[in-house]
Structure 1
Amino acid sequence: MPELSFTRAGSGPPLVLVHGYLGGSSMWAAQLAHFSPTRDVICPDLAGFGASNALEAPESIEGHAHAVLDLLDRLAVDRFDLLGHSMGGMVVQEMVRLAPERIGKLVLYGTGPRGVMPGRFETIAQSRDRLLRDGVPDTARRIAATWFRQGESAEGFALCLSLGQQAREQAAIASLKAWENWDGRPALGAIASPTLVLWGSRDRSYDWTQPEALWRGIPGADLAVVPGCAHNVHMEKPDLFNRLVADFLYAVDL
């Protein structure tokens, strides 16, 4: 399998950050800066996206999960804490299912346990039709605007637009197919890693039913709802996001 590109900085216990649809590792710049003084932060670019856009993307969430695990094998990273955003949240749920012994703490952020998401701003079929009609650049602009309360005027929009427009059309379409064929709900009860579910209260990609299903379905999961944020909390309120994640990662269970 071709090797994923990645961004890495810092030293200490490994922390792996997995981006979502039409994203890339450079979306984690604020988290890389915050956590790298104390953690070995590894941010993969999923196949077909970001710096891995030359790679053909798998048509399954499990395929993406295997690719990230293979990357970590190549880097000799055996055990790690894990955070996944949006589609990346689906990917990390599959990573936990495939290799539960390797995951320490788990953060499921702006995501849910279903690939076919009720309440999404548009159906997967509509996304596919519009993608084929409009192309990746216009699709990236339209979708990235939904990730921020301020739409295209948001500070992080330009970066997200640039990343989205780098994505292969094959990867954009393959990912939609992967969502249609994935359902993580049956595996939730088996997740033993301490888990934080984090969600922005104005998220248009995943409505409340999705993080709620994670929170209620994973034994002992914690929940953080960030008010006044849409899908990209880590870019809209990076300091608060980083504090919430750090508090969870560094907490000692009594």
Structure 2
Amino acid sequence: MTPLVLVHGFMGGSAQWDAEIAALSGTRPIIALDLPGFGANAHLPPIASIVGFAEWVLADLQARGVEAFHLLGHSMGGMIVQEVAHRAPTRVRQLVLYATGAIGVLPGRFETIAESKARARADGARATARRIAATWFREGAACPAYEGCAAIAESAAPDAIDAGLDAMQHWSGEAALPKLQQDTLIIWGDRDRTYPWRQIETLWQRIPTTHLAVVPRCAHAVHLENPDAFVPLLRQHLDAAG
């Protein structure tokens, strides 16, 4: 059975996928990665480019002996998996682009990347992690899933925060969207403060084969706010691949 590889976003980690792993592990192998500088790999040297992250993902999967896989990327992870799909099109079966876009500098983001970098340096890694994690939920820090998500974000190394922001700031995959060959599911929460609708619409319209799922009353972390809606979307998409 073809495994599903989960790539978290900025200040994320593999532990944020516990609900999805529990729900889907009986149907297929699940590989949840921790990117260098984040989560369980916070001790690894950070990477400051989306291409560099993509190359790391491919090398990690190669080391595990994984040749073919389905691929899901959340937020910054969605940028990374786009690059992976371009670099290894025959290895990626189905693609899921979740709460992400084709450019790293986002008009309408809750704050500019430059502001995030300045505030991270001024406030410190822990305060930055908790502040940004709150923006991922429709109810902010009042959401029941917030504390667990913030704890994962707090594990990010300070230099990884700066490097991750640099990676996003200097990346654009918009011109390459028509070349994506994979059958692609796009998932978006209709209250996402990070990726506005225009970014999602660009993915939906410019990737040749797409399916769009908009989840109501959710922000940037649909998989944590409403896993009961998120998991069936994944299951249906993966089942369609046989």
Q: What TM-score do the two structures reach when normalised by structure 2?
A: 0.98
2:49 is aligned with 1:60:
yes
In 1, Cα distance between equivalents of 2:8 and 2:39: 10
Shift of residue 139 of structure 1? 0.6
In 2, Cα distance between equivalents of 1:220 and 1:21: 27
Percent sequence identity over aligned pairs: 50
Q: How many residues align?
A: 242
Q: What letter is aligned with 2:117?
A: R
**After superposition, what is the alpha-carbon deviation per residue over 1:142-174, rounded to whole angstroms, capped at 9, x for unaligned?**
111111111112111111111111101111000
Q: Give RMSD over aligned pairs.
A: 1.0
**After superposition, what is the alpha-carbon deviation per residue over 1:104-160, rounded to whole angstroms, capped at 9, x for unaligned?**
000000000001111100000000000010011001111111111111121111111
2:163 is aligned with 1:174:
yes
Shift of residue 249 of structure 1? 1.1
**After superposition, what is the alpha-carbon deviation per residue over 1:166-215, rounded to whole angstroms, capped at 9, x for unaligned?**
10111100011111110000110000100011100000011101111100
Task: Trace 1:128-147 onto structure 2 (pairs within 5 A).
Answer: 128-147=117-136
Aligned to 2:151: 162
Aligned to 1:75: 64
Aligned to 2:226: 237
Structure 1 stretches of 4+ moved >2 Å: none
In 1, Cα distance between equivalents of 2:159 and 2:203: 30
Task: Trace 1:51-130 onto structure 2 (pairs within 5 A).
Answer: 51-130=40-119
Q: What letter is aligned with 2:104?
A: G
Q: What letter is aligned with 1:226?
A: V
In 1, Cα distance between equivalents of 2:85 and 2:93: 10
Aligned to 2:203: 214
Q: Are 1:31 and 1:242, in contact at CA under 8 Å, matched by a contact in 2?
A: yes
2:185 is aligned with 1:205:
no
Q: What letter is aligned with 1:170?
A: D
In 2, Cα distance between equivalents of 1:140 and 1:61: 20
In 1, Cα distance between equivalents of 2:101 and 2:156: 23
Q: Where does structure 2 lack aligned partners over 5 or more consecutive residues?
A: none
2:178 is aligned with 1:189:
yes
In 2, Cα distance between equivalents of 1:252 and 1:182: 30
Distance 1:252 1:14, change over 3 A: closer
Q: Are 1:85 and 1:110, in contact at CA under 8 Å, matched by a contact in 2?
A: yes
Shift of residue 58 of structure 1? 1.1
3-state SS of 1:100 partner: coil
Q: Are 1:105 and 1:194, in contact at CA under 8 Å, matched by a contact in 2?
A: yes
Q: Are 1:201 and 1:225, in contact at CA under 8 Å, matched by a contact in 2?
A: yes
In 2, Cα distance between equivalents of 1:20 and 1:166: 13
Aligned to 1:3: none
Shift of residue 245 of structure 1? 1.2
Q: Are 2:94 and 2:241, in contact at CA under 8 Å, matched by a contact in 1?
A: no
Shift of residue 252 of structure 1? 5.3
In 2, Cα distance between equivalents of 1:193 and 1:187: 13
Aligned to 1:250: 239
